[in-house]
Amino acid sequence: LGRNQQTDKAVDSDYCAANRIEIVHRPTGGRAVLHDDELSYAVISNDTNSFGDTIYGNYKRVSEALCLGYNRLGVPVVLAPETRKLPRLANGVDPPCFLSPSRYELMVQGRKIAGSAQRRVRQSFLQHGSMPITCSRETLARATRLPGSTQLDQEMAGVAEFLPRRPSLDELKGAFIHAFQDYFSIEFVL
């Protein structure tokens, strides 16, 4: 869950407990994410030369590097031009992350393919996110008390949906490591 989300408004605790889904609050904002079949990422920096000094500026730079990685895999990802916020649902539920893209989040064919959140403290920031390989839409819907998975079917995507075969974790990691190295003109020491 996002740092400021209320558990009772974001998830069905009984469903989560019965299905061994741990409920954890992350240090950044945003909405509920189901960490399942995915590649997660985190970028932590205080380098104002590479990133800048605004949340949106940093968000955009990280997203552009991620976009490069997806594009190199053959997935036609673009950055969302603006934030599309959803109101709380009729039953008072706070909708999950993948139903509301923010400016500069990653989209493919109108669907969100990565959920990211950021927190800035003084001159440093943390941005991290979830990049689904496949989507457990029905599980996410039930865990977040959505009435069904129809909205998630229309708004959420996993990378495997756009490739001829499911990529391995090593292929995904390699694509994003190389994209970050190229985009930021850096060399990772692994």
97 in active site? yes
Give CB contacts under 8 A, 24+ apart, made by 48-54: 48/123, 50/184, 51/125, 53/123
Q: What are phi and psi of 103, to 5 degrees?
A: -50, 135
Sign of the Cα torsion 132, 133, 134, 139 reads negative
Beta carbons of 81 and 171 less than 8 angstroms apart: no
Annotated catalytic residue: which of 16, 67, 97, 135? Answer: 97
Give CB contacts under 8 A, 24+ apart, made by 174-181: 175/69, 175/70, 175/72, 175/73, 176/39, 176/41, 176/65, 176/66, 176/69, 178/69, 178/72, 179/65, 179/66, 179/68, 179/69, 179/72, 180/65, 180/69
Beta carbons of 112 and 157 less than 8 angstroms apart: yes
| Residues tagged active-site | 97
